[in-house]
Structure 1
Amino acid sequence: MTGLWRTLRLVLLALLGGGYLVMDYLASSSTQPPAYAVLIGAAPLTAGAIAACWNSTFRLPATLLCLGGLLAMVLNLDRLLAHAAWLYFFQHAGIMSGLGIMFGSTLGSHEGALCSRIARVAIAEPLDARYLHYTWKVTLAWTVYFAASALLSLLLFAFAPLASWALFASLLTPLSLGLMFGGEYLIRLRALPGQPHFSIAQTIRSYRQYTQCRDTTE
């Protein structure tokens, strides 16, 4: 019964994810998208912004400011729909740029690289210099990937048809993210034989644990 429930949950998550990507594409590829597509497409970023404000040091003023911004957007929904592509562009390019900065800012040492920190959370035993050198290179690869994605998003939005940019931002970006995760895992198995390894799901859980531990120590 547990296996059946797990399968059903994965199918449901896949359907929800696919539906979100379709809504995201519809909203970002049209100059006059339907309101429901824009609202659904903007939901993850909105939820993330509210969560960030709630967890910030200045919780009350930050949350009130965020809610005020949301109210202003609702009251000017017609203008928002007329410029929905810009909203999605800033969302996509901003996320890619922010992640690139987050990864790139940790490249000062092999031990301090973000992927090295995540690996130390995922693997209980100490990591040797070879492993840390590899995780530093993985951090560099993710930095280059996010920087290239942000630049390509800018170039496509500025010079290509809107549908081409929407295809890249809404569909090709999630696909390339999956390929990056899967490709890195396969390369790691080959580059570090006999070393402890962890799955993609463990990587995500370890990153969450790392951010939680970092937040509690700050």
Structure 2
Amino acid sequence: MRLAVLALAGLFYVVMDYLASSSRHPPLYAVVVGAAPLTLGLLTAGWNSRFRWPVMLLAAAVLLSIALNIDQLLTHAAWFYLLQHAGIMCGLGFMFGSTLGSHENALCSRIARIAVAGSLDAAYFHYTWKVTLAWTLYFALSALLSLGLFALAPLSWWAFYAAVCTPLSLGLMFGGEYLVRRLALPDSPSFSIAHTIQSYRKYTQGRDTSQ
């Protein structure tokens, strides 16, 4: 039942996201639903930062400004979604790519240390470094495709890529990496995709509290 509810919620969000980003004059409810995850994520990050109250006051001022100029937002909703999609891809690409300096400090290596209770060897860290590189290239390519489609293709093509193809490709990346890991490192500690996501959340929460 829980998985069914999550699947329906995900499908509802994809539909609203597509409606909001593919139209020159989208309905207000579609824009609100489509922008909700990023807005909540930024508010949560601000609340957990050391500058909680200044960030919250700034966020309140931005949200009030948007509310007072909602017609302008609806007119330029596609640009908002472009900045949201390409910005997230660039940010994640930088987050992963900036850790490629060494095998043990690569982002996926850090996540693996959280996910696996025991110690990991050099071969495992070499593999997780490659996974970090693969994610870096994926996010960079996604950002370039987003910008290219928005500039050169019909708006509906870009909206379909951003709202539908992106979550599907993310799922394929997670699933493909899991299968490759089981084949490449059959005797090493294994963990599920859900465990990987949970470990990433723990990693990001640890970074927020340490800042």
Of 6, 13, 22, the match for 2:15: 22
8 Å contact from structure 2 (residues 47, 55) kept in 1: yes
Structure 2 residue ranges without an equivalent (≥5): none
Q: CA deviation at 1:111?
A: 0.3
| Partner of residue 66, structure 2 | 73
Q: How many residues align?
A: 211
Greater mean alpha carbon deviation, residues 146-155 or residues 43-52:
43-52
Partner in structure 2 of residue 163 of structure 1 = 156
Residues 202-211 or 131-140, more deviating: 202-211
**Counterparts in 2 of 1:217 and 1:48: CA distance versus 1, 3 Å:** closer
State the 1:209 CA deviation: 1.8
- Mapped to 1, the partners of 2:189 and 2:39 lie a distance apart of 38
Q: Secondary structure at the match of 2:186?
A: coil
The superposition leaves residues 135-191 of structure 1 with CA deviations (integer Å, 9 ceiling, x where unpaired) of: 000000000000000011000001110000000000000000000000000000110
The whole-number CA distance in structure 2 between the counterparts of 1:31 and 1:103 is 34
Q: Deviations over 1:65-109 (max 9, x none)?
A: 111101111111111100000000000000000000000000000
- Residues in 1 aligned to 2:112 and 2:39: alpha-carbon distance in whole angstroms: 30
Deviation at 1:215, TM superposition (A): 3.5
Deviations 1:9-52 (A, max 9, x none): 11011101100000000000000100100011001111112112
Q: Distance in 2 between matches of 1:83 and 1:59?
A: 30
Which residue number corresponds to residue 194 of structure 1?
Answer: 187
Q: Which amino acid aligns with 1:101?
A: F
Aligned to 1:151: 144
2:13 corresponds to which letter in structure 1?
Y
Query: Does the alignment pair 1:51 with 2:34?
Result: no
Q: 2:90 is paired with a residue of what secondary structure? A: helix
**Aligned equivalent of 1:142, options 135, 143, 147:** 135
Change (3 A) 1:101 1:154: same
Task: Tell me the distance in 2 between the aligned counterparts of 1:54 and 1:62.
Answer: 8
Query: Displacement, 1:214?
Result: 3.3
The one of 81, 101, 114 aligned to 2:94: 101
**TM-aligned CA deviation for residue 217 of structure 1:** 3.9
Normalised by the length of structure 2, the TM-score is 0.98
Amino acid at match of 1:48: G
Task: Specify the code of the residue in structure 1 equivalent to 2:136.
Answer: T
For residue 31 of structure 2, what is the aligned residue in structure 1?
A: 38
How far apart in 2 are the matches of 1:77 and 1:105? Answer: 37
How many Å apart are 1:195 and its aligned residue? 1.1
- Residue 23 of structure 1 aligns to a residue whose secondary structure is helix
Measured on the aligned residues, the alpha-carbon RMSD in Å equals 0.9
Output the CA distance in 1 between the equivalents of 2:148 and 2:100.
Answer: 27
In the alignment, the residues of structure 2 paired with residue 10 and residue 41 of structure 1 have an alpha-carbon distance, to the nearest angstrom, of 21
Question: Residues 116-153 of structure 1: CA distance to partner in whole angstroms, max 9, x if unpaired?
Answer: 00001111111111110000000000000000000110
Q: Tell whether 2:108 aligns with 1:115.
A: yes
CA distance in 2, matches of 1:61, 1:162: 37
Task: Extract unaligned runs of 5+ from structure 1.
Answer: 1-7
